[in-house]
Structure 1
Protein backbone atom coordinates (compact mmCIF):
# COMPACT_ATOMS: atom_id res chain seq x y z
CA UNK A 1 0.00 0.00 0.00
CA UNK A 2 1.24 3.49 -0.86
CA UNK A 3 2.71 5.26 2.14
CA UNK A 4 4.43 8.53 2.85
CA UNK A 5 8.01 8.29 4.10
CA UNK A 6 10.37 10.83 5.61
CA UNK A 7 11.44 13.63 3.28
CA UNK A 8 15.12 14.38 3.87
CA UNK A 9 17.73 16.88 2.73
CA UNK A 10 18.91 14.19 0.30
CA UNK A 11 15.62 14.44 -1.61
CA UNK A 12 15.93 18.23 -1.63
CA UNK A 13 19.32 17.90 -3.34
CA UNK A 14 17.84 15.51 -5.89
CA UNK A 15 15.20 18.07 -6.85
CA UNK A 16 17.92 20.69 -7.23
CA UNK A 17 19.63 18.43 -9.78
CA UNK A 18 16.54 18.98 -11.92
CA UNK A 19 16.68 22.74 -11.31
CA UNK A 20 13.60 22.53 -9.09
CA UNK A 21 14.04 24.62 -5.93
CA UNK A 22 11.90 23.40 -3.06
CA UNK A 23 10.81 26.94 -2.16
CA UNK A 24 7.35 27.68 -3.52
CA UNK A 25 6.40 24.07 -4.24
CA UNK A 26 3.25 22.74 -2.61
CA UNK A 27 2.59 19.34 -1.09
CA UNK A 28 5.97 17.78 -1.92
CA UNK A 29 6.26 14.29 -0.40
CA UNK A 30 8.50 11.26 -0.35
CA UNK A 31 6.40 8.21 -1.25
CA UNK A 32 6.94 4.47 -1.21
CA UNK A 33 5.05 1.95 -3.36
CA UNK A 34 5.06 -1.72 -2.41
CA UNK A 35 6.21 -4.42 -4.80
CA UNK A 36 3.30 -5.29 -7.09
CA UNK A 37 1.49 -1.99 -6.47
CA UNK A 38 0.45 0.16 -9.43
CA UNK A 39 2.09 3.57 -9.46
CA UNK A 40 -0.35 4.73 -12.13
CA UNK A 41 -3.03 3.01 -14.20
CA UNK A 42 -3.67 3.72 -17.86
CA UNK A 43 -6.86 5.73 -18.33
CA UNK A 44 -6.98 7.02 -14.74
CA UNK A 45 -5.73 10.39 -13.43
CA UNK A 46 -2.10 10.64 -12.37
CA UNK A 47 -1.84 12.89 -9.34
CA UNK A 48 1.89 13.44 -8.92
CA UNK A 49 4.98 14.13 -10.97
CA UNK A 50 7.28 11.44 -9.59
CA UNK A 51 11.06 11.19 -9.41
CA UNK A 52 12.15 7.62 -8.69
CA UNK A 53 15.15 7.51 -6.37
CA UNK A 54 15.04 3.82 -5.48
CA UNK A 55 13.55 0.65 -6.98
CA UNK A 56 12.32 -0.80 -10.27
CA UNK A 57 9.01 -0.62 -12.13
CA UNK A 58 7.64 -1.94 -15.41
CA UNK A 59 5.69 0.13 -17.94
CA UNK A 60 2.83 -1.55 -19.83
CA UNK A 61 0.33 -0.52 -22.48
CA UNK A 62 -3.11 -2.09 -22.74
CA UNK A 63 -4.14 -3.19 -26.22
CA UNK A 64 -7.67 -3.00 -27.59
CA UNK A 65 -8.26 -6.69 -26.82
CA UNK A 66 -7.53 -6.07 -23.14
CA UNK A 67 -4.05 -7.57 -23.06
CA UNK A 68 -0.99 -5.82 -21.64
CA UNK A 69 2.22 -5.31 -23.61
CA UNK A 70 5.51 -4.54 -21.86
CA UNK A 71 7.11 -1.32 -23.12
CA UNK A 72 10.11 -0.74 -20.87
CA UNK A 73 11.36 -0.54 -17.29
CA UNK A 74 12.11 2.28 -14.88
CA UNK A 75 15.09 2.10 -12.56
CA UNK A 76 16.46 4.55 -10.05
CA UNK A 77 16.48 7.97 -11.68
CA UNK A 78 13.32 7.68 -13.78
CA UNK A 79 10.68 10.39 -13.95
CA UNK A 80 6.97 9.55 -14.14
CA UNK A 81 4.21 11.95 -15.19
CA UNK A 82 6.14 14.42 -17.34
CA UNK A 83 4.11 13.52 -20.45
CA UNK A 84 0.88 14.23 -18.60
CA UNK A 85 2.39 17.48 -17.26
CA UNK A 86 3.42 18.73 -20.69
CA UNK A 87 0.13 17.71 -22.34
CA UNK A 88 -1.92 19.33 -19.55
CA UNK A 89 -3.84 16.07 -19.42
CA UNK A 90 -3.87 14.23 -16.07
CA UNK A 91 -4.94 10.89 -17.57
CA UNK A 92 -2.12 8.32 -17.44
CA UNK A 93 -1.05 7.11 -20.89
CA UNK A 94 0.40 3.81 -19.60
CA UNK A 95 0.27 1.62 -16.51
CA UNK A 96 3.35 1.45 -14.30
CA UNK A 97 3.72 -1.30 -11.70
CA UNK A 98 6.42 -1.64 -9.05
CA UNK A 99 8.47 -4.84 -9.36
CA UNK A 100 10.32 -4.00 -6.15
CA UNK A 101 9.67 -1.44 -3.45
CA UNK A 102 9.79 1.92 -5.27
CA UNK A 103 10.59 5.20 -3.52
CA UNK A 104 9.78 8.50 -5.21
CA UNK A 105 9.62 12.22 -4.67
CA UNK A 106 6.05 13.27 -5.46
CA UNK A 107 5.04 16.75 -6.63
CA UNK A 108 1.24 17.20 -6.83
CA UNK A 109 0.56 18.15 -10.45
CA UNK A 110 -2.46 20.38 -9.91
CA UNK A 111 -0.85 22.59 -7.27
CA UNK A 112 2.56 22.85 -8.97
CA UNK A 113 1.79 22.78 -12.70
CA UNK A 114 2.07 26.54 -13.28
CA UNK A 115 5.31 26.86 -11.34
CA UNK A 116 6.92 23.89 -13.09
CA UNK A 117 5.91 25.08 -16.56
CA UNK A 118 7.43 28.50 -15.91
CA UNK A 119 10.79 26.97 -14.94
CA UNK A 120 12.82 27.11 -18.18
CA UNK A 121 15.75 25.08 -16.82
CA UNK A 122 13.38 22.30 -15.79
CA UNK A 123 11.57 22.44 -19.14
CA UNK A 124 14.90 22.02 -20.91
CA UNK A 125 15.55 18.92 -18.83
CA UNK A 126 12.08 17.52 -19.62
CA UNK A 127 12.67 18.14 -23.33
CA UNK A 128 15.88 16.11 -23.19
CA UNK A 129 14.16 13.36 -21.22
CA UNK A 130 11.25 13.10 -23.66
CA UNK A 131 13.65 13.03 -26.62
CA UNK A 132 15.50 10.10 -25.05
CA UNK A 133 12.23 8.29 -24.38
CA UNK A 134 11.10 8.84 -27.97
CA UNK A 135 14.39 7.45 -29.25
CA UNK A 136 14.09 4.46 -26.93
CA UNK A 137 10.47 3.79 -27.92
CA UNK A 138 11.36 3.95 -31.62
CA UNK A 139 14.15 1.42 -31.20
CA UNK A 140 12.00 -0.79 -28.97
CA UNK A 141 9.23 -0.84 -31.58
CA UNK A 142 11.70 -2.11 -34.17
CA UNK A 143 13.07 -4.70 -31.74
CA UNK A 144 9.58 -5.99 -30.88
CA UNK A 145 8.96 -6.62 -34.58
CA UNK A 146 12.40 -7.90 -35.56
CA UNK A 147 14.00 -9.46 -32.48
CA UNK A 148 13.42 -13.02 -31.34
CA UNK A 149 11.47 -13.91 -28.23
CA UNK A 150 14.69 -15.36 -26.83
CA UNK A 151 16.31 -11.90 -26.92
CA UNK A 152 13.35 -10.17 -25.28
CA UNK A 153 12.86 -12.90 -22.68
CA UNK A 154 16.57 -12.92 -21.79
CA UNK A 155 16.52 -9.17 -21.18
CA UNK A 156 13.29 -9.47 -19.18
CA UNK A 157 14.80 -12.18 -16.96
CA UNK A 158 17.98 -10.15 -16.49
CA UNK A 159 15.99 -7.23 -15.07
CA UNK A 160 13.26 -9.03 -13.11
CA UNK A 161 15.20 -11.89 -11.50
CA UNK A 162 15.49 -11.85 -7.73
CA UNK A 163 18.84 -13.00 -6.38
CA UNK A 164 19.55 -14.96 -9.54
CA UNK A 165 16.16 -16.69 -9.72
CA UNK A 166 13.40 -15.96 -12.26
CA UNK A 167 10.03 -16.87 -10.78
CA UNK A 168 7.44 -14.61 -12.43
CA UNK A 169 4.06 -16.10 -13.36
CA UNK A 170 4.66 -17.44 -16.87
CA UNK A 171 1.17 -16.78 -18.22
CA UNK A 172 1.59 -13.11 -17.29
CA UNK A 173 5.08 -12.99 -18.84
CA UNK A 174 3.77 -14.49 -22.08
CA UNK A 175 1.11 -11.78 -22.31
CA UNK A 176 3.57 -8.97 -21.52
CA UNK A 177 6.00 -10.18 -24.18
CA UNK A 178 3.26 -10.67 -26.77
CA UNK A 179 3.65 -14.41 -27.22
CA UNK A 180 1.88 -17.66 -26.39
CA UNK A 181 2.43 -19.62 -23.20
CA UNK A 182 3.62 -22.64 -25.21
CA UNK A 183 6.15 -20.64 -27.18
CA UNK A 184 7.45 -19.10 -23.96
CA UNK A 185 7.96 -22.58 -22.48
CA UNK A 186 9.85 -23.68 -25.60
CA UNK A 187 12.23 -20.73 -25.34
CA UNK A 188 12.78 -21.31 -21.61
CA UNK A 189 13.59 -24.95 -22.36
CA UNK A 190 16.03 -23.84 -25.06
CA UNK A 191 17.80 -21.53 -22.60
CA UNK A 192 18.08 -24.45 -20.18
CA UNK A 193 19.54 -26.72 -22.89
CA UNK A 194 22.06 -23.99 -23.72
CA UNK A 195 23.15 -23.88 -20.08
CA UNK A 196 21.95 -20.33 -19.54
CA UNK A 197 19.17 -21.29 -17.10
CA UNK A 198 18.42 -24.27 -14.89
CA UNK A 199 14.87 -25.18 -13.89
CA UNK A 200 14.37 -25.98 -10.23
CA UNK A 201 11.41 -25.93 -7.85
CA UNK A 202 11.32 -22.16 -7.09
CA UNK A 203 11.72 -21.17 -10.74
CA UNK A 204 14.59 -20.77 -13.19
CA UNK A 205 18.11 -20.23 -11.84
CA UNK A 206 20.50 -18.11 -13.88
CA UNK A 207 23.54 -20.31 -14.54
CA UNK A 208 25.36 -18.15 -17.10
CA UNK A 209 24.63 -14.47 -16.49
CA UNK A 210 27.03 -13.29 -19.21
CA UNK A 211 25.29 -15.43 -21.83
CA UNK A 212 21.88 -14.21 -20.64
CA UNK A 213 22.98 -10.59 -21.01
CA UNK A 214 24.50 -11.30 -24.43
CA UNK A 215 21.23 -12.88 -25.57
CA UNK A 216 19.18 -9.94 -24.29
CA UNK A 217 21.42 -7.23 -25.78
CA UNK A 218 19.98 -4.67 -23.37
CA UNK A 219 16.54 -4.83 -24.99
CA UNK A 220 14.72 -3.71 -21.85
CA UNK A 221 17.38 -1.39 -20.49
CA UNK A 222 15.70 1.32 -18.38
CA UNK A 223 14.59 4.48 -20.16
CA UNK A 224 16.47 6.57 -17.60
CA UNK A 225 19.16 5.73 -15.11
CA UNK A 226 20.87 8.71 -13.55
CA UNK A 227 22.37 6.72 -10.71
CA UNK A 228 21.12 8.81 -7.82
CA UNK A 229 22.47 7.79 -4.48
Structure 2
Protein backbone atom coordinates (compact mmCIF):
# COMPACT_ATOMS: atom_id res chain seq x y z
CA UNK A 1 0.00 0.00 0.00
CA UNK A 2 1.29 3.44 -0.96
CA UNK A 3 0.31 6.64 0.83
CA UNK A 4 -0.31 9.59 -1.48
CA UNK A 5 -0.77 13.24 -0.42
CA UNK A 6 -4.33 14.54 -0.55
CA UNK A 7 -5.08 16.84 -3.46
CA UNK A 8 -7.81 19.40 -4.04
CA UNK A 9 -9.73 16.72 -5.99
CA UNK A 10 -9.67 14.50 -2.90
CA UNK A 11 -10.95 17.36 -0.75
CA UNK A 12 -13.78 17.89 -3.26
CA UNK A 13 -14.63 14.19 -3.00
CA UNK A 14 -14.80 14.45 0.78
CA UNK A 15 -17.16 17.40 0.35
CA UNK A 16 -19.45 15.29 -1.86
CA UNK A 17 -19.92 12.97 1.10
CA UNK A 18 -20.50 15.91 3.45
CA UNK A 19 -17.08 15.46 5.07
CA UNK A 20 -15.56 18.84 4.29
CA UNK A 21 -15.30 19.55 8.03
CA UNK A 22 -13.28 16.49 9.03
CA UNK A 23 -9.66 17.39 9.88
CA UNK A 24 -7.48 16.68 6.87
CA UNK A 25 -4.71 15.35 9.11
CA UNK A 26 -7.09 12.48 9.90
CA UNK A 27 -7.43 11.61 6.20
CA UNK A 28 -5.11 10.31 3.53
CA UNK A 29 -5.08 8.78 0.07
CA UNK A 30 -4.11 5.12 -0.11
CA UNK A 31 -3.17 3.31 -3.32
CA UNK A 32 -3.34 -0.48 -3.47
CA UNK A 33 -1.72 -2.63 -6.16
CA UNK A 34 -3.61 -5.48 -7.89
CA UNK A 35 -3.80 -8.49 -5.57
CA UNK A 36 -3.10 -6.45 -2.43
CA UNK A 37 -5.42 -6.67 0.57
CA UNK A 38 -7.27 -3.45 1.35
CA UNK A 39 -8.52 -4.96 4.61
CA UNK A 40 -8.52 -8.47 6.02
CA UNK A 41 -11.34 -10.35 7.67
CA UNK A 42 -10.94 -10.38 11.45
CA UNK A 43 -8.20 -7.72 11.48
CA UNK A 44 -8.63 -4.24 12.96
CA UNK A 45 -9.89 -1.66 10.45
CA UNK A 46 -9.59 1.91 11.80
CA UNK A 47 -10.56 3.51 8.47
CA UNK A 48 -13.62 4.05 6.37
CA UNK A 49 -12.53 4.21 2.74
CA UNK A 50 -14.04 6.20 -0.13
CA UNK A 51 -13.17 4.51 -3.42
CA UNK A 52 -11.87 6.97 -6.01
CA UNK A 53 -10.91 4.65 -8.86
CA UNK A 54 -10.20 1.03 -9.59
CA UNK A 55 -11.98 -2.15 -8.55
CA UNK A 56 -11.74 -4.67 -5.72
CA UNK A 57 -13.37 -7.94 -4.82
CA UNK A 58 -14.96 -8.62 -1.45
CA UNK A 59 -14.45 -12.10 0.02
CA UNK A 60 -15.44 -14.17 3.03
CA UNK A 61 -13.53 -17.21 4.17
CA UNK A 62 -15.56 -20.41 4.44
CA UNK A 63 -15.03 -22.81 7.39
CA UNK A 64 -12.93 -25.10 5.18
CA UNK A 65 -10.60 -22.23 4.25
CA UNK A 66 -11.94 -21.44 0.78
CA UNK A 67 -12.37 -17.87 -0.39
CA UNK A 68 -15.97 -17.02 -1.33
CA UNK A 69 -16.45 -13.93 -3.51
CA UNK A 70 -19.36 -11.80 -2.29
CA UNK A 71 -19.31 -8.73 -4.52
CA UNK A 72 -17.25 -6.07 -6.23
CA UNK A 73 -16.62 -2.35 -5.91
CA UNK A 74 -15.98 -0.61 -9.22
CA UNK A 75 -14.68 2.97 -9.24
CA UNK A 76 -16.91 4.24 -6.44
CA UNK A 77 -18.49 3.44 -3.10
CA UNK A 78 -17.48 2.91 0.51
CA UNK A 79 -15.41 0.21 2.19
CA UNK A 80 -15.94 -0.18 5.92
CA UNK A 81 -19.51 1.12 6.01
CA UNK A 82 -20.94 -2.14 7.35
CA UNK A 83 -18.33 -2.25 10.11
CA UNK A 84 -19.08 1.39 10.93
CA UNK A 85 -22.82 0.81 11.30
CA UNK A 86 -22.36 -2.44 13.24
CA UNK A 87 -19.72 -0.82 15.50
CA UNK A 88 -17.27 -3.56 14.54
CA UNK A 89 -13.60 -2.80 15.13
CA UNK A 90 -12.45 -5.67 12.92
CA UNK A 91 -13.19 -6.11 9.23
CA UNK A 92 -16.06 -8.52 8.55
CA UNK A 93 -14.72 -9.35 5.07
CA UNK A 94 -11.48 -9.33 3.12
CA UNK A 95 -11.28 -6.73 0.36
CA UNK A 96 -8.63 -7.36 -2.29
CA UNK A 97 -7.69 -4.98 -5.11
CA UNK A 98 -8.26 -6.33 -8.63
CA UNK A 99 -6.75 -3.29 -10.36
CA UNK A 100 -4.83 -0.32 -9.01
CA UNK A 101 -7.20 1.01 -6.38
CA UNK A 102 -7.16 4.56 -5.00
CA UNK A 103 -9.13 5.37 -1.84
CA UNK A 104 -9.50 8.25 0.56
CA UNK A 105 -9.04 6.88 4.07
CA UNK A 106 -10.89 8.65 6.89
CA UNK A 107 -9.65 7.66 10.34
CA UNK A 108 -12.72 6.52 12.26
CA UNK A 109 -11.49 6.90 15.88
CA UNK A 110 -10.59 10.58 15.42
CA UNK A 111 -13.65 11.42 13.27
CA UNK A 112 -16.30 9.31 15.04
CA UNK A 113 -18.21 12.25 16.47
CA UNK A 114 -18.48 13.97 13.09
CA UNK A 115 -19.43 10.77 11.25
CA UNK A 116 -22.14 9.86 13.75
CA UNK A 117 -24.07 13.16 13.46
CA UNK A 118 -23.36 14.23 9.89
CA UNK A 119 -26.75 13.84 8.20
CA UNK A 120 -25.44 14.22 4.65
CA UNK A 121 -22.81 11.54 5.18
CA UNK A 122 -25.34 9.24 6.88
CA UNK A 123 -27.67 9.62 3.87
CA UNK A 124 -24.83 8.57 1.57
CA UNK A 125 -24.05 5.70 3.92
CA UNK A 126 -27.67 4.52 3.87
CA UNK A 127 -27.72 4.67 0.08
CA UNK A 128 -24.54 2.60 -0.13
CA UNK A 129 -25.95 -0.07 2.19
CA UNK A 130 -29.23 -0.19 0.23
CA UNK A 131 -27.28 -0.63 -3.02
CA UNK A 132 -25.30 -3.49 -1.49
CA UNK A 133 -28.51 -5.16 -0.33
CA UNK A 134 -29.92 -4.87 -3.86
CA UNK A 135 -26.71 -6.32 -5.31
CA UNK A 136 -26.85 -9.16 -2.81
CA UNK A 137 -30.40 -9.95 -4.00
CA UNK A 138 -29.19 -9.96 -7.61
CA UNK A 139 -26.38 -12.35 -6.71
CA UNK A 140 -28.82 -14.68 -4.95
CA UNK A 141 -31.10 -14.65 -8.01
CA UNK A 142 -28.10 -15.39 -10.22
CA UNK A 143 -27.10 -18.35 -8.03
CA UNK A 144 -30.60 -19.75 -7.65
CA UNK A 145 -32.04 -19.39 -11.15
CA UNK A 146 -29.23 -19.14 -13.70
CA UNK A 147 -27.17 -21.86 -15.34
CA UNK A 148 -23.60 -22.63 -14.38
CA UNK A 149 -22.32 -21.17 -17.64
CA UNK A 150 -24.29 -17.99 -17.02
CA UNK A 151 -22.89 -17.60 -13.49
CA UNK A 152 -19.33 -18.29 -14.60
CA UNK A 153 -19.48 -15.82 -17.51
CA UNK A 154 -20.78 -13.11 -15.17
CA UNK A 155 -18.02 -13.92 -12.70
CA UNK A 156 -15.32 -13.76 -15.38
CA UNK A 157 -16.56 -10.38 -16.60
CA UNK A 158 -16.51 -8.96 -13.09
CA UNK A 159 -13.14 -10.36 -12.11
CA UNK A 160 -11.04 -10.00 -15.26
CA UNK A 161 -8.25 -7.44 -15.46
CA UNK A 162 -7.07 -6.17 -18.85
CA UNK A 163 -9.07 -9.00 -20.47
CA UNK A 164 -7.26 -11.67 -18.44
CA UNK A 165 -9.07 -13.90 -15.93
CA UNK A 166 -6.60 -15.51 -13.52
CA UNK A 167 -8.46 -16.33 -10.30
CA UNK A 168 -7.74 -19.52 -8.34
CA UNK A 169 -10.19 -21.99 -9.86
CA UNK A 170 -10.96 -23.82 -6.63
CA UNK A 171 -12.08 -20.49 -5.14
CA UNK A 172 -14.05 -19.70 -8.29
CA UNK A 173 -15.95 -22.99 -8.11
CA UNK A 174 -17.00 -22.21 -4.52
CA UNK A 175 -18.03 -18.67 -5.46
CA UNK A 176 -20.21 -19.65 -8.43
CA UNK A 177 -21.62 -22.76 -6.74
CA UNK A 178 -20.36 -25.64 -8.89
CA UNK A 179 -17.85 -28.44 -8.68
CA UNK A 180 -14.28 -27.88 -9.87
CA UNK A 181 -14.77 -30.55 -12.54
CA UNK A 182 -17.90 -28.88 -13.92
CA UNK A 183 -16.17 -25.48 -13.83
CA UNK A 184 -13.28 -26.87 -15.87
CA UNK A 185 -15.73 -28.35 -18.42
CA UNK A 186 -17.42 -24.97 -18.92
CA UNK A 187 -14.08 -23.19 -19.28
CA UNK A 188 -13.12 -25.75 -21.94
CA UNK A 189 -16.39 -25.12 -23.78
CA UNK A 190 -15.85 -21.33 -23.68
CA UNK A 191 -12.39 -21.89 -25.16
CA UNK A 192 -13.75 -24.14 -27.91
CA UNK A 193 -16.42 -21.54 -28.70
CA UNK A 194 -13.72 -18.91 -29.24
CA UNK A 195 -14.75 -16.80 -26.23
CA UNK A 196 -11.70 -17.54 -24.09
CA UNK A 197 -8.16 -18.64 -24.78
CA UNK A 198 -6.04 -20.50 -22.21
CA UNK A 199 -2.69 -18.78 -21.69
CA UNK A 200 0.11 -19.04 -19.15
CA UNK A 201 -1.23 -15.96 -17.32
CA UNK A 202 -4.78 -17.33 -17.17
CA UNK A 203 -7.76 -17.17 -19.53
CA UNK A 204 -7.69 -14.36 -22.09
CA UNK A 205 -11.06 -12.97 -23.21
CA UNK A 206 -11.24 -13.14 -27.02
CA UNK A 207 -14.91 -12.22 -27.46
CA UNK A 208 -16.22 -9.75 -24.87
CA UNK A 209 -19.54 -9.29 -26.69
CA UNK A 210 -20.45 -12.97 -26.60
CA UNK A 211 -19.23 -13.31 -23.02
CA UNK A 212 -21.52 -10.45 -21.98
CA UNK A 213 -24.42 -11.99 -23.88
CA UNK A 214 -24.01 -15.30 -22.08
CA UNK A 215 -23.78 -13.55 -18.71
CA UNK A 216 -26.90 -11.39 -19.05
CA UNK A 217 -30.30 -12.18 -17.52
The normalised TM-score by structure 2 is 0.91
- Long gaps (5+) in structure 1: 219-229
Q: 2:137 and 2:119 mapped to 1: Cα distance?
A: 27
Indicate conservation of the 8 Å contact 1:25/1:112, yes or no: no
Indicate conservation of the 8 Å contact 2:98/2:161, yes or no: no
* Equivalence for 1:73: 72
Distance 1:12 1:143, change over 3 A: same
11-20 vs 162-171, greater mean Cα deviation: 162-171
The normalised TM-score by structure 1 is 0.86
* Equivalence for 2:16: 17
Question: Would you say 1:57 and 2:50 are equivalent positions?
Answer: no
Indicate conservation of the 8 Å contact 1:12/1:22, yes or no: no
State the SS of the aligned residue for 2:3: strand
Distance 1:87 1:165, change over 3 A: closer
Superposed displacement of residue 193, structure 1: 2.6
- Long gaps (5+) in structure 2: none
Superposed displacement of residue 23, structure 1: 4.5
Superposed displacement of residue 47, structure 1: 1.4
* Equivalence for 2:81: 82
Indicate conservation of the 8 Å contact 2:66/2:171, yes or no: no
* Equivalence for 1:156: 155
Structure with bigger helix share is 2
Q: 2:197 and 2:19 mapped to 1: Cα distance?
A: 47
Superposed displacement of residue 117, structure 1: 1.0
Structure 1, residues 37-63: CA drift from partner, whole Å, max 9, x if none?
111111222110001112111011122
**Which structure is richer in relative contact order (CA contacts within 8 A, separation 6 or more)?**
1
Q: 2:192 and 2:118 mapped to 1: Cα distance?
A: 55
Superposed displacement of residue 101, structure 1: 1.7
* Equivalence for 1:130: 129
Count of aligned positions: 217
Q: 1:44 and 1:200 mapped to 2: Cα distance?
A: 35
Distance 1:212 1:58, change over 3 A: same
State the SS of the aligned residue for 2:131: helix
Superposed displacement of residue 213, structure 1: 0.7
Indicate conservation of the 8 Å contact 2:55/2:73, yes or no: yes
